[in-house]
Amino acid sequence: MGKANCPVKTKLVRIDDVLVYKNKDSYVHNPVVELLQDGEMVCVFREAARRRVRTHIDMTSKAVLVRSKDGGRNWAPATRQVIYEEKRCGIQDPSIRQLKDGTLICNYFVWTVGGAEDFPVNHAWLQTSDAEHYSWVTGSYTIRSLDNGKTWESPVRVPSLTGDCTATADPVIELANGELLIPIEMEAAGERTKTGVARSRDKGRSWGEPTIAAADPLCRFSFHETGLLQLPSGKIIAIHRVHQAGEYEYGWYLYQTDSHDNGRTWTTPRKLPMWGGPANLIRLQSGSILCVYGYRRPPYGSRACLSHDDGETWDIANEFILRADGIDADVGYPTSVQLRDGAIFTAWYQSEPDQEQKPAGVKFSIFAYDRPLTYIGGTFYREA
């Protein structure tokens, strides 16, 4: 692309912060925000019972939606709606996207909890809470709504190269040709996690087998929680959260792969200058690309970075701090929309202390405190 078509280099300037959702009896996290065609804004997140010890595996976890009718300034608790839950299962990382025809599509994955006689043999993602209780993932799914989220169709399973052992954590994207891509991660026993995209040609009524977007055949890196964006040129950018064997487990540098054939083949993963994850991408009105991501080391919070050349380089020198006041590494998963007036809104989650809170007494842990109160907030800012 010639210089004449490149966006003017800009910086991000804060406006203010708002509260999206807080419930003293709940543990909430992983918000995904979407601006609907009628101007209403919705935020979908995972909500579970608040317990002394936080966990992302909980049979009470469900997909919940709240709404704002004034561009994200106010979020009415009365709009809270459970859009999907399932007995004996934890609904994890729900995301939401509105398609061009108005259809809403929500993607998520499922944890199942059972006893020692229930879990599958050789499952790559098997966890135990004690000697008798286990949990394991049982697939990624999508649900659709044709009435702006008031009612939802039955779940549709997303195929995986590793059977049930799959997850999804960022919204689907709708390509210029009308097809949908859903980002998923997959892991087989004895391997490192890889990421891919599954394709739908019928607006999410069914999904085809995925293609690999990022993998390491030498098993040094595992790739997770991909954010996707298609540019006007047709190029698709995928940014992946990465764990590196033998290194800091809860966050590493983001990696990028690109596709020039609608997601059928991908470039070799390359390391980006942004530390953290996972990432969410939107293209701004200026033509710049906004990448937001969690920051799970002190000072804990969420950050943003711009690309002014269609994802070829990232302006890390002007990295923007959305929040830096999290109490521990259980923060982030930010997602963004841009309003018609140019303001950007990014939703994120973190925790605050309360009178019952006591440190767990460990040097470092993603869950470093007992019984904090998590909440979902949002930051308004703009390019300048």
Q: Quick one: pLDDT at residue 28?
A: 97
- Count other Cβ atoms within 10 Å, centred on residue 219: 11
User: Would you say the pTM of this structure is higher than 0.85?
Assistant: yes
Confidence (pLDDT) at 171: 98
- For residue 246, what pLDDT is reported? 63
Q: Do residues 276 and 332 touch, judged by C-beta distance below 8 A? A: yes
pLDDT digits (tens, 9 = 90+) for 107-137: 999 999 887 777 787 787 887 766 667 889 9
Residue 261 DSSP class:
S
Q: Which is more confidently placed, 57 or 108?
A: 108
Q: Over the chain, what is the mean pLDDT?
A: 91
How far is Cα 15 from Cα 11, in angstroms, rounded to an integer? Answer: 13
Rounded to an integer, the average pLDDT of 40-59 is 91
Give me the pLDDT at residue 46, please.
98
Residue-wise pLDDT tens digits, 179-208:
999 999 999 888 899 999 999 999 999 999
Which CATH number characterizes residue 261's domain?
A: 2.120.10.10
Q: Which residues contact 288 (CB under 8 A, 6 or more apart)?
A: 7, 10, 306, 307, 308, 383
Confidence of residue 1 (pLDDT cuts 50, 70, 90): very low
CA distances from 327 to 250, 287, 289, 304 (A): 15, 35, 29, 19
Would you place residue 142 in the very low, low, confident or very high pLDDT band (cuts 50, 70, 90)?
Answer: very high
User: 323 with 367: CB under 8 angstroms?
Assistant: no
pLDDT exceeds cutoff 80 at 338: yes
Say if 4 falls within a structural domain.
Answer: no
**How large is the average pLDDT for residues 62-79?**
97
Q: Is 11 within the bounds of a domain? A: no
Count of domains forming the chain: 1
Strand order in the sheet with 301-307: 279-283, 289-295, 301-307, 320-323
Contact assessment for residue 181 and residue 197, using Cβ atoms and an 8 Å cutoff: yes
Task: Using pLDDT thresholds of 50, 70 and 90, give the confidence band for residue 275.
Answer: very high
pLDDT band at 2 (very low <50, low <70, confident <90, very high): very low
Structural domain for 375, as ranges: 24-383
**Position 284 in a domain:** yes
pLDDT digits (tens, 9 = 90+) for 295-333: 998 999 999 999 999 999 999 999 999 999 999 999 999
Query: Is the pLDDT assigned to residue 223 strictly greater than 60?
Result: yes
In-domain check, residue 247: yes
Q: In the prediction, which pLDDT does 3 show?
A: 43
Question: With 60 as the cut, is the pLDDT of residue 53 above it?
Answer: yes
- So what's the pLDDT on residue 247? 63
Answer yes or no: is 3 within a domain. no
- Residue 5 lies inside a defined structural domain of this protein: no
Confidence of residue 214 (pLDDT cuts 50, 70, 90): very high
- When pLDDT is averaged across residues 129-152 and rounded to a whole number, the result is 89
pLDDT value at residue 6:
64
**12 lies in a domain?**
no
Give the model's pLDDT for residue 33. 98
CA-based nearest residue to 110, from 135, 82, 137, 149: 137
Identify the pLDDT of residue 370.
Answer: 76
7 is a domain residue: no
Distance between the two ends of the chain, CA-based, in angstroms? 23
